[in-house]
Amino acid sequence: MNVPATVLNFGHELSFQAKEQLSLKFGQCNEIMITFAIDRRRPVIQEVSRIVETSVPQSILAGTQPFVVALPSLSIGVSTLLAYLHGRIGYFPKVLDLMRDKQLGVFLINDIIDLEYERSRARRKRSKTNGRRSCERNSQED
Phi, psi of 5 (to 5 degrees): -135, 155
Helix (H) / strand (E) containing 49: helix 44-55
Find the Cα–Cα–Cα–Cα dihedral 72, 75, 77, 83, rounded to 10°: 110
* Residue ranges of E strands in the chain: 5-9, 29-33, 67-70, 94-101, 106-114
Centre a 10 Å sphere on the Cβ of residue 34 and count the other Cβ atoms it contains.
20
The span from the CA of 42 to the CA of 87, in Å, is: 21
**Tens place of pLDDT per residue across the chain (142 aa):** 466 689 999 999 999 999 999 999 888 889 999 999 999 999 999 999 999 999 999 999 998 889 999 999 999 999 999 999 999 999 999 999 999 999 999 999 999 999 999 999 998 888 776 555 555 544 444 4
Distance (Å, rounded) from C-alpha 24 to C-alpha 44?
Answer: 36
CB proximity list for 4: less than 8 A, separation 6 or greater: 26, 27, 28, 29, 30, 66
Query: Considering the entire predicted model, what is its pTM?
Result: 0.84
